[in-house]
Structures are given as C-alpha cells and as structure tokens.
Amino acid sequence: MPTDPFKSILRPRIREQLPKALKEASPIQVARALIENHRAWRVRLARAGKGIIHTRSGLDWMHTPNIETGIAITGIAEEEAETQLNNAFTFFSRKRNPIPVSITAGDSSGPPDLMGRLAAWGIQPHFQPGLAANLSALNMNLEYLPKLTLSFTQETHIHPEWHPQTHRIYERTQIMRPKRVWHLVAHYKRKQVGHITLHIGAGVVGLYDLIVDPDTRQQGIGSTLTLGACLFAKKLGYHHTVLTTPKTALFRHIGFGKVNRMLITTHPSIDLRGRPQDRDLAIAQAASLGERGRFCKLLRQYPKALTWKSRAGLTPLHIAIAAGRPDFACWLIDRGATIDAQTVRELGLK
C-alpha cells in the first residue's frame, strides 16, 4: 500500500464523534444503509451549498444553485407516493425550466409502481448495481503504481467540467461539523491523478466520485484509491463500505458484491411543468407492474397505448424492461411492441 495518510487524522476526538457502525448485518440491512447513505450525502451537499431542503417521510428533495437538483427516495408508502412526488415536482416546476435533476432510489424505496410513476413525469431510468464490501474480507493483494502516494485534501478541483461553485460546495462538505466527509487523492510524480470521496452515514461508509486521470488509467490507481478508502473506513471502526457504479469489475476484484439495484438517474435538463395526465400515469403504472389485464383495458380505451411514449420517449416496453418485467415485455412484443438494441444499451438494461 502507498504512503499511509491516515496517522495524522485518526485522532480520538474524531472517532468519538462518529455515528455507530453497522456490524453484523444482512444483505438487506446493508442495502438499506446504502440507500440512506445516498440520501444523507445529497442532504449534506445541499446544506454545503446553502440550498433549499424539504424532508418528508421517505422522500427528500433539495435545490441548490449550480448543482443538480436532488430527489432522494428512501421509502415512500404507496398511499403517499402520488402526493409526495407531485409536491416535489411541482416545487421544481417553479424554478427555471428546464432544470438539472438527479434522482436516487433503491429496489425497496417505494411502491411497486414507482418506476412507472417516475416515467410518467418524464424521468428516464438508469439503473446501477448497489455494491458493498465487508471490510474484514477485502482482497489486499493488489499491485499499484510505484511512487504513487495517497493524501487527504482540502481542495477538490477534481473534475475540470464542474462549475467552480460545485468545487466550493464539495470543499465545504468536509469542514462541516460533525465531521462526516473526507476527500482522498492520489498523486503520481507530484501530479494529482485520482480522487475519491468518503461519506459516513447510516452506519456505513459511502464511496463517491471515484475519478482517475484518463492519461493514467489501467495502472491500478482506481483500485488503490478504493482500497485506501476502505482501509481508512476500517481504521475509523466501520465494517462496510458501499457504492453504486455501472462498472463493477474493478470493485468485485477488490471484494465488493451486489446488494441491490439502484436507480441513479441524472437529467441535465428536464421540464417538470404540468402533472402527467391520468392516461399517461395509468399506462406507465401498468407497464411497470406488468399487469396484463389492466393494460388490455387501457388498450380498449386508448388503442395507441402500445406505442404511447412518455415525455422522455419511453414506451410501455421500455418501462417494462427497466422495471424488471421480462414476461410482460415479451407479452408486449407478441402484440407488436418493438425496441432497438441501442435503446436497451442507453437505458443501461440487459
């Protein structure tokens, strides 16, 4: 392992202020902690940016200038889903339109038709595996680039495309109290070549924004940063690290495993003005639930329901595939629905 950057940071006072760690936990408990960690990270970013935060049971939404407006869905009840989503999207519709919106949710974050409800509003789903590592079972036998050093930084100019205000917000997250955030960077020949953020919440350590300089990829820097973050989490007294990513090979090599499926979708610009019509909501819900009888009734009422498209261009077949309803998707195809391979790839589906 490269130079240990942890000695000067692991002061007793820091450990005393940390929340209790999740210890012997089932995969379901770890998956739940992953969802909660995402929510807490969203809220911390909004607070660092002096944004507007609305907290409701199971659903938080945040609006902060110069970063994505965030919606974190952690567990809304079916009877409250329509009201809560309408309230959130109506709030955003009063802002400049279109606006950037980022939504996070887990498999168990809402009612079974949550996917359909979001699609009716024009949200296009992108799913990523939720991964977790038991820190006592990590693979430590990794090769790393000679002369690579790890250190914690106060500055977070980690992405050249980010707005300057976004960098300032990230910098504030680690000086906020109580202490919950660290930014770990990798240097090679005095040049910063990588970065990862650690965020403590829900009894686990979440890993975010793993970035490696394109000129130095394929040299183990991402693995070294991730392993370094995990070792630091272990020294802080935690037992699990969690993250979401579409590229799992690197993390599985270290010792991460899948615990759930996360909806992590970001729209650079989306118009949220106007609630979806009852017809649109009904078609999207039926497709997300895979309800054949309900969809047949909708076809009688709306003969073009099979080729209906949401504001984001999603058809019932898109929604059924994204919601994990393969039998219903085949049923739609038997009735003439079509989808191309490129769309499947764009949706992050298999």
Residue pLDDT, tens place only, 230-254? 989 998 999 999 999 888 888 998 8
Nearest CA to 33 out of 133, 176, 138, 183 is that of 133
C-beta of residue 206 within 8 angstroms of C-beta of residue 72 = no
Q: Distance of CA 206 to CAs 36, 81, 91, 148, Å?
A: 10, 27, 29, 23
Nearest CA to 290 out of 254, 329, 262, 264 is that of 329
Residue 68 pLDDT exceeds 90: no
How confident is the model at residue 155, as a pLDDT?
Answer: 61
Mean pLDDT of 163-189: 80
Residue 54 pLDDT exceeds 60: yes
C-beta of residue 328 within 8 angstroms of C-beta of residue 290 = yes
Task: Indicate the pLDDT class of residue 67, thresholds 50, 70 and 90.
Answer: low
Mean pLDDT of 311-324: 89
pTM for this structure?
Answer: 0.85
| 122 or 170, higher pLDDT | 122
How confident is the model at residue 208, as a pLDDT?
Answer: 93
User: Taken in order 43, 198, 180, 23, is the CA torsion positive or negative?
Assistant: positive
Mean pLDDT of 324-329: 90
How confident is the model at residue 292, as a pLDDT?
Answer: 96
How confident is the model at residue 327, as a pLDDT?
Answer: 92
The residues that bridge with 214 in the sheet, in sequence order, are: none
Q: Distance of CA 256 to CAs 108, 204, 230, 241, 245, Å?
A: 21, 14, 11, 9, 11
Which structural domains are found in the chain, ordered by start? 12-23+132-259 (3.40.630.30), 277-350 (1.25.40.20)
> Any residues with CB less than 8 A from the CB of 61 and at least 6 apart, and which?
53, 54, 69, 70, 71, 72, 88, 91, 92
How confident is the model at residue 350, as a pLDDT?
Answer: 52
